[in-house]
Amino acid sequence: MLTLPLADCHDALHPKWAPFAGYTMPLSYAGTLAEHLHTRTHASLFDVSHMGQAVLRGPDTDALLRVLTPMDPATLKQGMMRYTVLTNAQGGIVDDLMVLRRETDTLLIINAANKTKVYHHIAQHCQGDVTLTLLDNTTILAVQGPQSAAVIATLFPDALALSFLTHRTVVWDGAEITLSRSGYTGEDGFECYGTDTKAARSLFQAIIAHPAVKPAGLGARDTLRLEAGLCLYGMDLSDDTSPVAAGLSFVIQKAQRTHPTFLGHETILSHLNHGTPKTLVPLIFQGRQPIRHDTPIVDDTDRVVGTVTSGAFSPTRGDVVMLAYITTPVPEPLFAMVRGQKLPLMRTTLPFVPHRYHRS
């Protein structure tokens, strides 16, 4: 198993460790429930350095992005970042990722479990004057929660000028860091992307020393992202899942709908115009009994019509929330089959908990 570059910083905080995506990761410190609620009310520090970072350079970067993703790179200006997906020729999702336009290059943030697959996929399609560089031993520190801006302002006062999905270069301990106003919790937050472990270590210590901040692990990160209605690759997204079925049609930008160049556009645009065999549906169970990944969903005749992809008790709401792929048209009513019990489910809309991003 791989270890995080700042594993020694975590050891001093006595986390519960767990394997994830080939890494030994902090699962929790004070417990997932406490960390979840602290993030919703104050600010938490998440170390997500297991994620991959890669850089595209060269005048043909945008041409490559038009093939790899359904985004329109011409609309991504310096200092902006965008959520998108890498598609395959069959119309499935290779990975979902963040794309950051910097002054001299374009930074890609990739899911940890997909790093090797994604790097190979991108390299396979590189043509013209564009280079792909994989960044090793990188760090990503995320500060999330309603007090995150106050925390970051004590370290980088200019950061308050950032709005959601924008970024800038800052200097900490002599090293350049890309600081974005973004995150995976639905809360206002910031992420610090770096390549200097020494600077990242001192930044970690400075953040955790703030009285509003407590460390949080993967457990809270997962329950927070689910409440925010955000997908997790390997659970809600996969190589054979269309972005339309996953509720991600917004990533298909106007130029790619009218003059598509991205891989799998025939299938994906057909889904956009004519529907999909299945669709990702947000559901609620008004109880506390866990309903987890792979739980069958049935209709009132006990016919299996879908499967839960993500499910968890929602600490903020006090009930169970889940995402499930259901055959279309979606039947009513729906039930989760848990150990022979039919638990009644209610359809709802996303997000389960309102977003509190800072938009200009």
Cβ atoms within 10 Å, residue 356: 15
State the pTM of this model: 0.97
The per-residue DSSP string of 241-253 comes to: --TTTTT-GGGS-
Given this model, what pLDDT does residue 360 score?
Answer: 80
Tokens in use for 85? 């997906």
Query: How much of the chain exceeds pLDDT 90, in percent?
Result: 99
Radius of gyration for the alpha carbons in the chain, expressed in angstroms and rounded: 20
In whole angstroms, give the CA distance from residue 124 to residue 136.
20
Q: What residues contact 222, with CB distance under 8 A and at least 6 apart?
A: 232, 312
User: Is-same-fold flag (2-49+138-227; 50-132+242-275)?
Assistant: no
Place of tokens 């160049």: 261
Mean pLDDT on 125-131: 96
Model confidence at 305: pLDDT above 90: yes
Query: How much of the chain exceeds pLDDT 70, in percent?
Result: 100
In whole angstroms, give the CA distance from residue 237 to residue 249.
13
Overall fold of domain 277-351: Elongation Factor Tu (Ef-tu); domain 3 (2.40.30)
The DSSP bridge partners found for residue 195 are none
21 closest CA partner among 114, 89, 139, 160: 114
> Is residue 307 exposed (0-12), middle (13-18) or buried (19+ Cβ within 10 Å)?
middle
CB 45 within 8 A of CB 25: no
Domain 50-132+242-275 matching CATH 3.40.1360.10: the answer reads no
Phi, psi of 254 (to 5 degrees): -55, -45
Secondary structure letter of residue 330 according to DSSP: P
> Is residue 135 exposed (0-12), middle (13-18) or buried (19+ Cβ within 10 Å)?
middle
Mean pLDDT on 187-209: 98
Domain 2-49+138-227 matching CATH 3.30.1360.120: the answer reads yes
For the segment 147-183, what is each residue's pLDDT rounded down to a tens digit?
A: 999 999 999 999 999 999 999 999 999 999 999 999 9
Tell me the residue length of the chain.
Answer: 360
Domain limits, the chain: 2-49+138-227, 50-132+242-275, 277-351
Model confidence at 221: pLDDT above 90: yes
Given this model, what pLDDT does residue 51 score?
Answer: 98
Mean pLDDT on 291-298: 97
Given this model, what pLDDT does residue 89 score?
Answer: 98
The DSSP bridge partners found for residue 57 are 131
Given this model, what pLDDT does residue 103 score?
Answer: 97
Mean pLDDT on 88-93: 98
For the segment 336-359, what is each residue's pLDDT rounded down to a tens digit?
A: 999 999 999 999 999 999 999 999
Q: What residues contact 3, with CB distance under 8 A and at least 6 apart?
A: 23, 24
In whole angstroms, give the CA distance from residue 281 to residue 301.
20
251 closest CA partner among 61, 54, 76, 53: 76
In whole angstroms, give the CA distance from residue 169 to residue 122.
25
Q: How confident is the prediction for the chain on average, in pLDDT? A: 97
Mean pLDDT on 108-120: 97
